[in-house]
Structure 1
Amino acid sequence: MLHVSGPEGSDLVTAVSLSGVTLRQHATPEAALSAAVPGDAVALLAGQYPNQPQGLSPAIWSRLADAGVRAYVEYPASTPPVPSGEPVRTAWERLVVSSDFFGPTLPSGRILVAHGCTYLPMQATSPHLVAARVAGYDEAVYGLPEAVAPLLFQHGELPALIAASGLSYFIRGRFAPAEDWATVWRAILTWLMPAEAMPPLSWEATVRPSFTEREPLPRDAERQAFGRGCDWYYRSRVLIHPTWSNYLAPKFARGVESGPSVPGYLVNGDGRSGILEGFSAEIDHEGRQNQRYVIRTDCISESAMALALHGEVTGNETSRDVAEGLIDYALFDSLIHQGVRADPYHPTHGLLAWGVTSWAWERAFYGDDNARSLLGMIAVSAVLREPRWGESICRALLANLRTTGALGFRGSRIDIPDFEANGWRHFHDREIVNPSPHYEAYLWACFLWAYRATGYEEFLRKPLAAIETTMAAYPEGWALTNGITLDRARMLLPLAWLVRVDDTPRHREWLMAVARDLLESQVECGAIREEIGGPGQERSAAVESNEAYGTNETSLVQRNGDPATDLLYTTNFAFLGLREASRATGDPELHAAEDRMAAFLTRAQIRSSAHPELDGGWFRGFDYRRWDYWSSSADVGWGAWCLETGWSQGWIASVLGLRALGTSFWELTADLELGQHVPSCLTQMSLGDGGPYRPRPRRRPHLAEGCPYDLKGEPDDRYPDVNRASLTDGQEWPPNAPERWVGWWGTPMVVTVDLGEVRALSRAGAVFLVSGDIGVLPPVRLRVQGGREPEARDWSAEVRPPAAEPGDRWVHAIEVTCAAPAPARFLTIQADPAPELPAWHRSAGLAAWLMCCELAVF
């Protein structure tokens, strides 16, 4: 008999009950021990894990010594004679089998994951399970490191197994792999009840694939998968509503990019405030998955594409409206395509920011992210038959084209400081070679599509040259990212569209060579087996040490042969590539491979009633042998269980939508023409000289222009008023020229200006810089005093501007003035800074900056 104490409905009780083993549940450890007779077993589970270790009285430990029972004791505050340490939450540590306790099916060195694992530091000489940072797919390939934490071991003096963590949360906590956790618990129960023949344990996972590998699919399974994949956008609570600002803005301000899901009381948005990136791979002990608090341009456009197709296939008007709102947000209503990118003199003019969550995202321009963003925008434009985005799309295509080198390669990433230091022409003229399909191929595809849509020859010349160079280097000369299958999958799209644009035997040969090599990695179920490249092929090699686990972006496999498929980097893009290639060539082999992949993705789609926010999604990692969500999760940002609104969800759902419509991306967008926008875009983009960026001020005439002034209290040395004329020169410098602004850190700005004569005035004040993100805030009070003589104060007026809000993050200029009630010659303008940065700021409590570039006297 097994006696269990702990929470009602514990996972152990559920699994054991399903197996047919007899058990009794008790309210307390004392009750469980009192009911047990010699030969019985007790399991004392932690009911308040991980917040409160289980406090067991000395009487319970004494009773265990002489009751004639075996015990499993979980998360105890002490294990006599040694007290436990303070709880520790694992970060990159996984669980590793460290003995032969579990039998030959789970040998020493095997890796498991207990999501949200918190453990109590304990002493143990021969533990069966330890927590350790190890590299490997399902075995610790470099062995155990020196630092390990015992998690399951036999007490040295008592007939008890001690668990330093909440191992009984294996169902709700989505511990993985599930089949290995069944082995763990069967071994524990066998040790507890050696006289019983312990049957295998099984249970229904709370998050699982929609279909098994072999069960027949319903006739409409693929259409259902498409619908569920698009409905996921509404269940997952990723569509931002304006009312979410108070929840999200403090996280943006502190640079927090991942955390608990958006609360259920907040309503979904309509796309016009953007969309979150998705879910990270971090899961807690209850199986709840962290959300990614990032607003990425590619995710916005790719999600919009899926929802637009959903509207087209099903007639769902809400999805069409949300898709429209998302593209409006990306192009018009956020900084993605605005700010310096809207300045024709700035070298980034026309480009799309990587994201808008913080400066780290706004400053960066990845070619592949710009490309996928553009593809999403193009698709939505075609599906919704909406022309108003055409000029912006054309400008963005030309902006990426002019920052692509002379040989057709752009490189992986260019940032705003690089652009400003060098100018766009530097990148246009440089002769770099970067045969990396991950970073380059989708821009080539965009350019080939743009050539069809505009007839502009440069859109053909550059990708053709780069593709020829890349295919000449295939495969050994490719600069791989996570592995060779990823880059083959990415290369399919431009090769398929090259056949569309210029159908020659050579171009077909290129396409079929890459496609057939990729299909060598397609397994029977339709998934693409992930494969890494050789040494020296950049990040494509295996994780090289235990210490390197979790320190870089990397593959889901440790070595070739690990049975993982990647739905974020490989299979998703292979699905699109095969769709476009099969439609471009009519090749039956490619069409059959596409069908197999569609069936696999239909089966692997997440099904979960316990976690509706995940139902209908696709995780990154999938083990097609175990038929479970599992792989190495060494990637520093996007681990095995991450779920991306764009890369995975957006493209998988969109290709299923294209299949439902019986078309391809190329055919769907055939009627979209952009040629009429090319001349005006080129004219606008030629305003600058292409050299290093020189910020240009805006002329700002006012009554104090050219007038002398005195400062009471010097500005900070980092932002000085060099020539004592900056504040009245009639020029308002843009926010991205901070060296032209005058700054005070924690002290007020006090300026007395001589207008030269008594002037009739309406208002007076100054222009201030604001950016909550970097701690530059508006003044809390602006006070203006006027008089006819230098020391006179004939009148006084003041205004208190609105306080900075958490969402007031972007660098921008504001004018703050107050009414001037009477004429004056001398004005004293005092701006008082915020006493300190507010609680929502990542540097809360420090002094706030006050930045001014020009007085404003009218």
Structure 2
Amino acid sequence: MNGRMGLQRPSRQYLHRYNRARFHLELCIWSCIGIARLIVSWTERRIQSSGLLLITAVSRSGGTASCPALSAGRSWIGPAEMTELDPARVPNGHLLVVTRGESDLSRILRQAPLARVVQPAQVDMASIAGCAAIAVLGGSEAEPLILPARARALIDAQITRGTRVFAEYCRGIDGLAVAIDTVDTRHERLVWRGDDLGAVRPGDLLEDQAGRRLRMQAGSVTSVAPPLMQYTSATLAHRHVDLTSEPLPVEHNGIWFERENLLFSASRVANFHRARFAPMSQWSHVIGAIANWLTGQQLVAAEDRAYRVGFDDELAVEQAVRHSVGMAVAWFRNNELLVEGGRGGVLEGFATEITPEGRQPPQAPLGVRADCTGEAALAFELHHRLTGDEASAATARNLRDAFFDLFQVDAPGQPDHGMVRWAEGDWDVCYQDDVARGLIGHLLISMVDQTTTHMEQIRRALDFLISTTGTDGTREWVSTPRDLIEPRRTQLASTPGNRPSAHFNSHYAAALLLAGRIYREPSYVAIGVRCLATIMAAYPETTREMSETSEMCRLVFPLATLVLAADTAEHREWLYTVTRDLQRVRHESGGYLEWDTGYQARRSRRQGEESSLLVSNGDPVVDLLYSMNWLPMGFAQAYLATGDSWFRELLSDVSSFFTKAQLSSSDAVIDGAWARAFDVELGEVYGIPNDIEWGPWAIESGWTVAPIASGLAIGLLLDDWAPAYARSQADRGL
């Protein structure tokens, strides 16, 4: 016994037991380490197989509050370049994700090593202890996140300690004053003011659709660097602006560094995929850069997109076109746009607004529209003829009947007798070109089948329009009740309309020409010829509504019909002149770009009203509501009227384009549809959001989906229809 230490020397037996226990303990520890390594390796393989893109990490020790903190390292890596996760790059501690619900961004951050996801009320010392970074995501809900007091205090303390924090759509954090209110971003876009990320350059314009953002109070933001993104509503540019001015006031801030370690987003970006932020690849870079700065690893779901476009290039054009027509018809059915199976007409379609939750509401204000109903009738009839689908045949009959029974005024002796009303939501007005497009489908089927279905109603509709047509064959853009009262009515009919506009009068002329040929009515043909002669006398300086491209596209079908009804060398030259001029704006994708020489169109570069998609000639944008949508039927009609294979080649080319621009999605609202704006370089829906009602994402049942599908279908029926057109051309003696 050692009296000084008071300790007894261990026995040999005790030491033996001690060494044995130590051996087993060490064995257990090393076994656990081995199992942990296996789990990490398995997780890495799972991350790779799930399609995640990994981007070289930003050093967690070298980041600053300036933009380079989001631009260091490589920008975008394709699937073939994915690399193994490097455990040495994983930061010490876990990533704490604070959110009220799942979102696109939370799903990405979940993939970070050691990520923990908690509700705001669950933030406590246990969850926050040892965390290396924090993401506070408020954008999963409509109202901005207000952190509970305990969570706020704990997270603010972490910010003070230097922990990196990304706070999104959150009312107040770390002394940042509460925002004034939230603002709708429907007519705004975000301009990137950060460093060059490769795919995202300073001055690039990014769209968050009809999003929401916090409007910060002046003087409340004390950011350590210029903002990375700011909102602008006054920028007339397609995708990029030159940054020559200082940043806008803080009320316009989108994303910025409030501290070196606090990145704040007033923008509601949590569901950037679901809400169809555009351009998609650029938003993936921005979100990836944020994840990179926050975690040291950038994890982006490469395949997580709201929609796709295009078919397999190896698919034959005819097969793709046939499939495309079927998708378009299914779009009507899947979205219940057919009221009572078509007996109540067809709804207009879907508005351009896309909410932060990814919902796209119906285009509700006008309800059922006559023009959409008439155009959809032709699409369903042609689908029946392509496939033998009897349900489509029945729908087409219902829609044809609804067009006349629901919308045409039957009041003999009254000034509005024969008028076709525009829509349920605008009952007492009549747009002649809209009525005409509704009639043209009936007239084409009558010509091909040699029938006179609805002949009396068609004649009444045309006679009503003729009664207020000017002496030059053109009409005012709309008929209202006051136009039907004398002496206004007589004045309209006895003076020139002075409206040489394809937008307002070209299809009206085509309907007159078709009816005149089918019903052997020389007066109809004469007025149709006079109308197009007036337009072509002004061409190319016609009275443009949207763009010069729109005028040219709208003229092809009427001028082809003019050749069919009254073939002369001059009339043929008009058709060929317009078609040749169109080729000047053809893009290599097969799209026809918006163009407006001299920017003369009434809706050119407008804000706060109906607006063209065009900002500058040469912008890579096509308009599938006012321009290109008319070309499939136009080129098909031109081939059938002339027999020239050039027009058949143009039809094949534009049909291929439309199969590749058609949307494919798990969301029924857009699956099988075409939206208004399509950027041919990006290969996605993108355009300036200036139009107050029919913006880039507007999807019209008539005007867009039905006429495009009809033109594609006629292209597949050319050989079947050619004999009927030959009969019409042989029978020219009216």
The TM-score normalised by the length of structure 2 is: 0.79
Match of 2:335 among 223, 236, 239: 236
Closer/same/farther in 2, CA of residues 540 and 145 from structure 1, 3 Å limit: farther
State yes or no: 1:625 paired with 2:681.
yes
Q: In structure 2, what is the Cα distance between the partners aligned to 1:72 and 1:451?
A: 68
State yes or no: 1:10 paired with 2:103.
yes
Deviation at residue 38 of structure 1 after TM alignment? 7.2
Closer/same/farther in 2, CA of residues 663 and 429 from structure 1, 3 Å limit: farther
Closer/same/farther in 2, CA of residues 23 and 323 from structure 1, 3 Å limit: farther
Deviation at residue 48 of structure 1 after TM alignment? 4.6
2:39 is aligned to none
Deviation at residue 393 of structure 1 after TM alignment? 0.8
Match of 1:430 among 495, 508, 515: 495
1:326 is aligned to 399
Q: In structure 2, what is the Cα distance between the partners aligned to 1:151 and 1:433?
A: 48
Contact 2:183 2:215 in 1 (8 A): no
Closer/same/farther in 2, CA of residues 32 and 481 from structure 1, 3 Å limit: farther
Give the SS at the match of 2:550: helix
Name the structure where helix makes up a greater proportion of residues. Answer: 2
Post-superposition Cα deviations, 1:740-774, rounded to whole Å, max 9, x if no partner, equal xxxxxxxxxxxxxxxxxxxxxxxxxxxxxxxxxxx
Amino acid at match of 1:117: G
State yes or no: 1:153 paired with 2:244.
no
Output aligned runs, 1:724-803, within 5 Å: none
Match of 1:474 among 539, 543, 549: 539
Deviation at residue 616 of structure 1 after TM alignment? 0.8
Q: In structure 1, what is the Cα distance between the partners aligned to 2:723 and 2:463?
A: 22
Amino acid at match of 2:602: R
Closer/same/farther in 2, CA of residues 559 and 40 from structure 1, 3 Å limit: same
State yes or no: 1:22 paired with 2:89.
no
Amino acid at match of 1:184: V
State yes or no: 1:567 paired with 2:658.
no
Closer/same/farther in 2, CA of residues 80 and 666 from structure 1, 3 Å limit: farther
Name the structure where strand makes up a greater proportion of residues. Answer: 1
Give the SS at the match of 1:282: coil
State yes or no: 1:607 paired with 2:664.
yes
Deviation at residue 386 of structure 1 after TM alignment? 6.9
Deviation at residue 145 of structure 1 after TM alignment? 6.7
Q: In structure 2, what is the Cα distance between the partners aligned to 1:230 and 1:371?
A: 22
Amino acid at match of 1:77: R
1:398 is aligned to 463
Match of 2:193 among 99, 104, 125: 99
Give the SS at the match of 2:702: coil
Deviation at residue 80 of structure 1 after TM alignment? 3.4
Output aligned runs, 1:573-612, within 5 Å: 573-609=630-666, 611-612=667-668
Post-superposition Cα deviations, 1:259-298, rounded to whole Å, max 9, x if no partner, equal xxxxxxxxxx211122211001011112110101222110
Closer/same/farther in 2, CA of residues 465 and 15 from structure 1, 3 Å limit: same
2:417 is aligned to 349
1:114 is aligned to 208
State which drifts further: 418-427 or 526-535.
Answer: 418-427
Output aligned runs, 1:196-207, within 5 Å: 196=297, 198=298, 202-207=302-307
Post-superposition Cα deviations, 1:175-226, rounded to whole Å, max 9, x if no partner, equal 1111110121122123324x55x477633312221437x5655762211111
Give the SS at the match of 2:543: coil
Give the SS at the match of 1:5: strand
Q: Identity of counterpart residues, as a percentage?
A: 29
1:378 is aligned to 443
Contact 1:87 1:118 in 2 (8 A): no
State yes or no: 1:73 paired with 2:138.
no
State yes or no: 1:162 paired with 2:261.
no
Q: In structure 2, what is the Cα distance between the partners aligned to 1:390 and 1:289?
A: 39
State yes or no: 1:209 paired with 2:309.
yes
Deviation at residue 110 of structure 1 after TM alignment? 2.3
Q: In structure 1, what is the Cα distance between the partners aligned to 2:446 and 2:180?
A: 56
State yes or no: 1:273 paired with 2:344.
yes
Amino acid at match of 1:413: V
Contact 1:301 1:374 in 2 (8 A): yes
1:510 is aligned to 574
Q: In structure 2, what is the Cα distance between the partners aligned to 1:348 and 1:44?
A: 62
Q: In structure 1, what is the Cα distance between the partners aligned to 2:624 and 2:451?
A: 31
State yes or no: 1:525 paired with 2:525.
no
Closer/same/farther in 2, CA of residues 635 and 229 from structure 1, 3 Å limit: same
Amino acid at match of 1:442: H
2:551 is aligned to 487
Match of 1:50 among 142, 165, 175: 142
Contact 1:53 1:75 in 2 (8 A): yes
State which drifts further: 585-594 or 641-650.
Answer: 585-594
1:695 is aligned to none
Deviation at residue 642 of structure 1 after TM alignment? 0.6
Deviation at residue 417 of structure 1 after TM alignment? 1.5
Closer/same/farther in 2, CA of residues 470 and 95 from structure 1, 3 Å limit: closer
Closer/same/farther in 2, CA of residues 379 and 583 from structure 1, 3 Å limit: closer
Give the SS at the match of 2:544: coil
Post-superposition Cα deviations, 1:690-712, rounded to whole Å, max 9, x if no partner, equal xxxxxxxxxxxxxxxxxxxxxxx
Contact 2:108 2:300 in 1 (8 A): no
Q: In structure 1, what is the Cα distance between the partners aligned to 2:721 and 2:605?
A: 35
Match of 1:137 among 231, 234, 238: 238
Post-superposition Cα deviations, 1:446-472, rounded to whole Å, max 9, x if no partner, equal 111122112222212222233223223
Contact 1:236 1:612 in 2 (8 A): yes
Give the SS at the match of 2:253: strand
Output aligned runs, 1:695-710, within 5 Å: none
Deviation at residue 363 of structure 1 after TM alignment? 1.9
Amino acid at match of 1:369: D
State which drifts further: 343-352 or 143-152.
Answer: 143-152
State yes or no: 1:173 paired with 2:265.
no
Output aligned runs, 1:450-465, within 5 Å: 450-465=515-530
Contact 1:484 1:533 in 2 (8 A): yes
Amino acid at match of 2:113: T
Output aligned runs, 1:835-850, within 5 Å: none
Q: In structure 2, what is the Cα distance between the partners aligned to 1:645 and 1:363?
A: 22
1:262 is aligned to none
Give the SS at the match of 1:64: helix
Give the SS at the match of 1:281: coil
2:360 is aligned to 289
Q: In structure 2, what is the Cα distance between the partners aligned to 1:104 and 1:390?
A: 61
Q: In structure 1, what is the Cα distance between the partners aligned to 2:369 and 2:308?
A: 28
Closer/same/farther in 2, CA of residues 236 and 141 from structure 1, 3 Å limit: farther
Give the SS at the match of 2:273: coil
Closer/same/farther in 2, CA of residues 598 and 98 from structure 1, 3 Å limit: closer
Q: In structure 1, what is the Cα distance between the partners aligned to 2:100 and 2:564?
A: 63
Q: In structure 1, what is the Cα distance between the partners aligned to 2:293 and 2:317?
A: 44
Q: In structure 1, what is the Cα distance between the partners aligned to 2:545 and 2:576?
A: 22
Give the SS at the match of 2:454: helix
State yes or no: 1:643 paired with 2:711.
no
Is there any run of 5+ residues in structure 1 with no aligned partner, and where?
Answer: 241-268, 544-548, 679-858
Amino acid at match of 2:626: Y
Q: In structure 1, what is the Cα distance between the partners aligned to 2:252 and 2:421?
A: 43
Post-superposition Cα deviations, 1:146-174, rounded to whole Å, max 9, x if no partner, equal 68432212124x61111123212101111
Is there any run of 5+ residues in structure 2 with no aligned partner, and where?
Answer: 1-90
Count of residue pairs brought into register by the alignment: 624
Q: In structure 2, what is the Cα distance between the partners aligned to 1:33 and 1:353?
A: 67
Contact 1:365 1:415 in 2 (8 A): yes
